[in-house]
Structure 1
Amino acid sequence: MAGTIHQAGRKIWQTLSSTKTGVILLILTVVVSAGGTLILQRPVTDADEMQRAYSPQALRLLDTLGLTDVFHAWWFVMLLAAVSLSIVAASIQRFPNAWRYFARPYKSPDDNFRKALLFQQQIAVPDEEAGLSVAEKVFQTAGLKPERIVRQDSFSLFGERNRISEMAVYIVHASLLLIFLGGIVDAIYGWRGFVTLTRGEESSQVQAQNGSNHKLPFAIRCDGAGQENYADGTPKRWWSNLAVVERGRVVNTKEIVVNDPLVYRGIRFYQASYGRTGKVDKLLLTATSKTAKGESKEIALGLNETQSLDDDTTVRLAEFIPDYVVRDGQVYTRSEQLDNPAVHLMVSSKKSGKEVNVWMPALPGFEENAASRYSFEGKDVQMAYFTGLEVSHEPGQWAVWAGVILMSLGLGVVFYLVHMRVWAVPVHDARGQLFLWVGGTCNKNKDVFEQRFRKLVQEIESGIKVHSESGAQAPVTSMAGR
């Protein structure tokens, strides 16, 4: 029984740590993430747009499968966890050998290693010290960090550069783990919601994507919002002036536009929409006295706002109907558009306590307008507008951005740094003639390395030739063995 469990565990481990499994899971993650950008997502997309884009049956299926909120779906979290486990398993299985190769580089090549090396050259030298000294200077000039290796009675030279390139794959692995960790944290603990505000309104409640209300640890207030248009009247941009109110005082303010959110305590407020509420913000009127003097006064009224016309008379905006119609003696609005606006004013006398209803335009058979001491003329109406804010809390974003930065570094190392290793070893041939064996290898870009290796050999040959001539030594010959 124990043997069966052990064998099953080994198979699971081998499957998880295999490159094939990792590649399949990564491709699946990319495909699912791409689907999350192609399919409209809640709550970024409002319900009306979702219903216009998909049929009821398709929308119900997408909701059931979690495809309208991919990045918070339970199966997406499981997929990220599976990819992470595969990366960890593959790294654990391969890292020990890679670390030994990185921490203890092979510095003294034996005969078998030298014979198997792809890039090698033998150069005749007058003596060991002369050959090693010249090679050491050439290695140093090439940035290969030369190191003299002494083993019993033998001497050799080792040089390398960009050893960190051997660990680049694990840097990329670590960056992927950070990104997936951030995604998992966001999916479990993060949330998205929506809130609409009019000018001067503040709220500490956000409607989450599941329809519930999410309470903020502070209040968000709209101090103004607007829309800029192109010459043809199409919207150019929306903007909102937001203020964060905490414990009764403003602690942060910002004008936000699309893709430039306000961020406070890890919660982001994005500009998502802008539109007319159907309610009046300010109504501009001219009030004219019906007395002989006929004095006029310009007034601006908000809904349920009261203004004084004289020492005795006040007027209040009781009701505003943007598109009014009368049915069975009752006033209704057909739409939120200013197609047929109507105004209901209440004119009051302080002395008598009497209130008079004034309708603009006058309703059929309505006589109270005549009882008012003032006549009114509408000048302008300023409608109230709302700003729609998408609100998100993504506590795993620090890990995602750290992973992105680390991946940039890792990929830079992978693509631009080449681990080059070179050796210089004094050897004798069968006739006892002394040569300096020079060999090299790299972990990628072998064509480019071959050119650099040939140039390195030429510089060593030239240096030895100069040394020999200055020391009146025997002529130097070169052998091009591979």
Structure 2
Amino acid sequence: MGKIICACGHENPEGTLLCEKCGQPLTEEGKKSKILNMRYDGIAIRSKTRNKSIVDKIWNFFSSVKVGVTLIIINLVAASIGTIFPQEFYVSVSTEEQKAAYYEETYGSLGKLYYELGLSNVYSSWWFQILVGMLAISIIVASIDRGLPLHRSLKNQRVKRHTSFMKRQRIVAEGPVTEGDPSKTLNLIEEKMKALKYKVRRDGNALLAERGRFARYGPYINHVGLIIFLFGVMLRLVPGFYVDESMWIREGETRAVPGMDGYFIENEDFILEMHDNEKTENQELQGVNVVAKNYQTDVKLYKQSEDAVPGQADNLELVEDYSIRVNHPLQHEGFSFYQMDFRLNELKTMKFELTKKETGESLGEVSIDLTNPQKEYVLNDQTKVELLGFYPDFSGFENGEPQTKTPDPNNPAFIFKMVTPEKPEGEVSFVAIQQTIEPNGDNTYKMEFQSVEMRDMSGLTVHKDSTIPILAIGGVIFMLGVAIGSYWNHRRVWVEQLEDGTIRLAAHTNKNWFSIKKDLNALSEFAHLPRYIDQGEEDKEADGEGKEKEGDSTL
């Protein structure tokens, strides 16, 4: 990188707009301007000076404010798309086929397209994480690109400044003191500025009063908070940091806990309590019927011993016996089990009797566990019932084959082969609710429905979020940066006393010019300084007069 040598002899890095030592403009544009651009104190910024290598181009791309804003908008749009329909972890189905069917049946063709495009799992998708990562990189690069040079400039700023620097500030003043001893003016200025809580530095006949430098770091504190927050978001993809799983568990069933290796949970009983069904007049008008009083699942949480086979419910040790209710989750080692939903009266067991059609003679009873049906039910040495097919949620025939919509026993159907002493070769019968088909003609025997046993199911959410402290820290730091950048400002006043006693003054603030003018009014009155002028306001007035003259001439 080349060097720019200022008239004062100081060597500045290429791209520097104002000399690091004296503040003199180094560019033709700066020398012609009436008011200097003090946004980064004229320091050289890498993205503005290097654009040769591929590293420079990548750096410049991510350091661009336009790119950063575009990435923010894209992330917001992508996140909002994920809220059009419920995400997959809110849907109480497990297999991919069931999920596809759910979105199509519930939301139509738009829901089907939503699922096929992967929008039903936006926040865990690889492309969304890439967008978040690119935004994080943009924030980091922009902070380094501008923040570090600005910090170096503010830390090393000199007290004495070149005349052109002083005269090109927005607020300037020059002239003799209005009264008093000129030799005491700098002392009076220092005294007053310290009383106004400014930090004062002196170098011979020059003085620099500074207050609120930390306000310049507000945006970069914002960036730190955002980076920590985005880091917490991306940590949710790391196993063990974030778990949000749904599980359905039937009464009497013991299942492995998703996302919680080595743990099993048993549903002992589901309890649904209702309020008295006595309606008030207001409830009648609102159409209110029975109101639920309590949803409760009595569970036992187990942990496998170290010598147990992973995934198998053996060698279990009881960890906790608890009743999960709404807003009263079971909590263990950072995991929380919430009562999410329930299903009443699911079919558990169906009982059939093998009977002879003509006489009604019974050869025995078969009890079928709908969640674990057996392939064969032996009644005696010469009589048995084979289960050739089981369709838990029968939805009709396709090409002559029975179909099941879901694995849940909502509408069970069976294909039985009945082996009896009279029919040792067996008879085949398709049996569904209110439907019996005998494909080989009329059978001698039939499977006659006897009774059904019901049970309830509990829908539980297993939740763990170890990223919450990280997200909270990032949020707090971000809000701290917002407060610093919004409610404080960086004020600087440069004063130089010439040999003839003339006072030359310049002032700058990054925002809220009223605040620094208020301080200068108090300083001028105390130290009897010459009246300052606001060159920015003068330019506005001149532009207004020019427009008025142009309008008059047009008329």
**TM-score of the two chains, using structure 1 as the length reference:** 0.61
Of the three residues 160, 170, 188, the one matched with 1:134 is 188
Distance in 1 separating the partners of 2:194 and 2:339: 58
Alignment length, in residue pairs? Answer: 349
Alpha-carbon distance, 1:407 to partner: 1.3
Please give the residue correspondences for 1:222-261 in structure 2 after superposition, counting only pairs within 5 Å: 226=272, 232=288, 233-234=290-291, 238=295, 244-246=301-303, 248-250=317-319, 257=326
Please give the residue correspondences for 1:398-437 in structure 2 after superposition, counting only pairs within 5 Å: 398-427=469-498, 432-435=500-503, 437=504
Please give the residue correspondences for 1:47-446 in structure 2 after superposition, counting only pairs within 5 Å: 47=93, 50-55=103-108, 57-122=109-174, 123-124=177-178, 126-127=180-181, 130-144=184-198, 146-150=199-203, 153-161=204-212, 163-189=213-239, 190-197=242-249, 203-206=255-258, 214=259, 216-220=261-265, 226=272, 232=288, 233-234=290-291, 238=295, 244-246=301-303, 248-250=317-319, 257=326, 263-278=331-346, 385-427=456-498, 432-435=500-503, 437-445=504-512
Distance in 2 separating the partners of 1:461 and 1:20: 43
Alpha-carbon distance, 1:38 to partner: 2.2
Q: Which residue of 2 aligns with 1:318?
A: none
Given that 2:324 and 2:337 are in contact with CA atoms closer than 8 Å, whether structure 1 keeps it comes out as: no
Q: Does 1:29 align with 2:97?
A: no
Q: Which residue of 2 aligns with 1:43?
A: 89
Give secondary structure in 2 for the equivalent of 1:132: helix
Given that 2:272 and 2:295 are in contact with CA atoms closer than 8 Å, whether structure 1 keeps it comes out as: yes
Post-superposition CA distance 1:260-302 (Å, at most 9, x none): 755543434333213424479xxxxxxxxxxxxxxxxxxxxxx
Give secondary structure in 2 for the equivalent of 1:479: coil
411 and 184 in structure 1: CA distance in 2 versus 1, 3 angstrom threshold: same
Given that 2:300 and 2:318 are in contact with CA atoms closer than 8 Å, whether structure 1 keeps it comes out as: no
Letter in 2 for 1:154: N
Given that 1:29 and 1:79 are in contact with CA atoms closer than 8 Å, whether structure 2 keeps it comes out as: yes
Alpha-carbon distance, 1:251 to partner: 5.6
Post-superposition CA distance 1:29-77 (Å, at most 9, x none): 111111112221112123486444322x544432332210111111112
Give secondary structure in 2 for the equivalent of 1:97: helix
Distance in 1 separating the partners of 2:154 and 2:299: 54
Letter in 2 for 1:417: W
Letter in 1 for 2:506: G
Gaps in structure 1 of 5+ consecutive residues: 207-213, 281-334, 337-382, 465-475
Give secondary structure in 1 for the equivalent of 2:197: coil
Give secondary structure in 2 for the equivalent of 1:40: coil
Given that 2:173 and 2:531 are in contact with CA atoms closer than 8 Å, whether structure 1 keeps it comes out as: yes
Give secondary structure in 1 for the equivalent of 2:237: helix
Gaps in structure 2 of 5+ consecutive residues: 1-50, 94-100, 305-316, 349-408, 411-453, 535-555
Post-superposition CA distance 1:185-214 (Å, at most 9, x none): 2135345321234678654333xxxxxxx5
Cα RMSD over matched residues?
3.8
Distance in 1 separating the partners of 2:191 and 2:267: 70
Given that 2:92 and 2:246 are in contact with CA atoms closer than 8 Å, whether structure 1 keeps it comes out as: no
Letter in 2 for 1:389: L
Letter in 2 for 1:187: L
Given that 2:166 and 2:505 are in contact with CA atoms closer than 8 Å, whether structure 1 keeps it comes out as: no
Q: Which residue of 2 aligns with 1:459?
A: 522
Alpha-carbon distance, 1:141 to partner: 3.1
Distance in 2 separating the partners of 1:124 and 1:105: 30
Distance in 1 separating the partners of 2:167 and 2:246: 70
Distance in 2 separating the partners of 1:188 and 1:96: 32
Post-superposition CA distance 1:431-481 (Å, at most 9, x none): x3443x443221123xxx33x3333233224334xxxxxxxxxxx674344
Post-superposition CA distance 1:134-172 (Å, at most 9, x none): 32333233222x32312xx424242212x2221222222
Post-superposition CA distance 1:1-22 (Å, at most 9, x none): xxxx974443333222212111
Q: Percent identity?
A: 21
Give secondary structure in 1 for the equivalent of 2:257: strand
Distance in 2 separating the partners of 1:240 and 1:439: 74
442 and 278 in structure 1: CA distance in 2 versus 1, 3 angstrom threshold: same
Post-superposition CA distance 1:226-257 (Å, at most 9, x none): 46669623558856676655473446968553
215 and 477 in structure 1: CA distance in 2 versus 1, 3 angstrom threshold: closer
Give secondary structure in 1 for the equivalent of 2:90: coil
Of the three residues 57, 80, 86, the one matched with 1:11 is 57
458 and 191 in structure 1: CA distance in 2 versus 1, 3 angstrom threshold: closer
Alpha-carbon distance, 1:105 to partner: 3.8
Give secondary structure in 2 for the equivalent of 1:38: coil
Q: Which residue of 1 aligns with 2:440?
A: none
Letter in 1 for 2:201: R
Letter in 2 for 1:159: E
Distance in 1 separating the partners of 2:91 and 2:474: 28
Given that 1:277 and 1:384 are in contact with CA atoms closer than 8 Å, whether structure 2 keeps it comes out as: yes
Distance in 2 separating the partners of 1:225 and 1:135: 79
The structure with the greater share of residues assigned to strand is 1
Distance in 2 separating the partners of 1:117 and 1:16: 32
9 and 89 in structure 1: CA distance in 2 versus 1, 3 angstrom threshold: same
